[in-house]
Amino acid sequence: MKHLCLLVLSSLLISCFSTELVENWKNPDIETYSPNKVLIVGLTPNIEARKQFEKQLRDEYTSRGIEAIMSIDYLAPSFTSKKKTEQELKALEDSLVYNEFDTVILSKVIGVEDKIVYKENFNNEESTYIKFKEDYLRYQDAYYNPEYYNEYTVYHTETSLYCICPTKDRELIWKGFIDITDPSSISETINDYVKLVVIVLEEEQLIYPNILENRPNEDAIN
């Protein structure tokens, strides 16, 4: 429980509520993992966003002495713009193994949700005593006046870490689900997202902490 609380608190402190770790899963057969060469794939049609995401995550790996390659530099431009067959992806895996990659980290948006939150709480105890006319008059203000509610968009994302080791089964090591709420800046959102992914990977012992980089003081939030 302490471990989970630490993850949530860390994500909130870093992301300022724009990015939030919703859930994550780690292969129970793997206690620690030390990649040697990683391919980083940001699956998005937005080239600039993909480039920034892959570069920042690459820098996190290389600062720890791990070789990391951006897919935008490694794969053909048409690779992510066209649907691929199972055979084509198998050929890519074989090519990665041949070129001494042992890990792929893949990030993508898996859903978009528009939400409305009313600024006033209408579900209180007093509402059980309210009359029809009063109820209708109060609610119509909230329904027709934009000042009574907030509209925002939530992007549901998924980041997965795969082993493509030549001497082991090619398997899923870790998967994290992160919500991005109403992003106002692509650059800031990607920065928060990468920091959150790295913190979780460190907590799960799937990447070594970077002792040269300033990290939040975990003792201060215990």
pTM given for the model: 0.77
Structural domain range at position 203:
2-112+157-221
pLDDT of residue 6: 44
In this predicted structure, what is the pLDDT of residue 87? 92
Q: Please tell me the predicted confidence (pLDDT) of residue 135.
A: 74
Q: Is residue 95 part of a domain?
A: yes
Domain CATH code at residue 46: 3.40.50
In angstroms, the CA 4 to CA 6 distance is 5
* 128 within some domain: no
d(CA 71, CA 39): 6
Report if residue 42 sits inside a domain.
yes
Q: What are the tokens at 18?
A: 């724009």
First-to-final CA distance of the chain: 12
Span 5-17, pLDDT tens digits: 344 444 444 444 5
Domain annotation covers residue 25: yes
pLDDT, position 144: 64
Distance of alpha carbon 216 from the chain centroid:
19
Q: How many structural domains is the chain composed of?
A: 1
Distance CA 123, CA 46 (A): 41
Could you tell me if residue 180 is inside a domain? yes
Is 176 a member of any domain? Answer: yes
For residues 191 and 174, give the distance between their C-alpha atoms in angstroms, rounded to a whole number.
21
130 burial type by CB count under 10 A (0-12 exposed, 13-18 middle, 19+ buried): middle
Going through the chain in order, the beta strands assigned E by DSSP cover: 19-26, 37-43, 67-70, 103-118, 149-163, 171-181
Does residue 60 sit within a domain? Answer: yes
Query: Domain for residue 30, yes or no?
Result: yes
Low-confidence ranges of the chain (pLDDT < 70): 1-17, 119-129, 138-139, 141-148, 211-222
Contacts of 24 (CB under 8 A, 6+ apart): 7, 174, 175, 176, 177, 200, 204
Report the run of H or E that residue 201 belongs to, with start and end: helix 186-203
Cβ pair 171, 162 in contact under 8 A:
yes
3-state SS of 97-117 is HHCCCCEEEEEEEEEEEEEEE
| Residue 124, phi-psi category: left (phi > 0), alpha (psi -120 to 50), beta (remainder) | beta
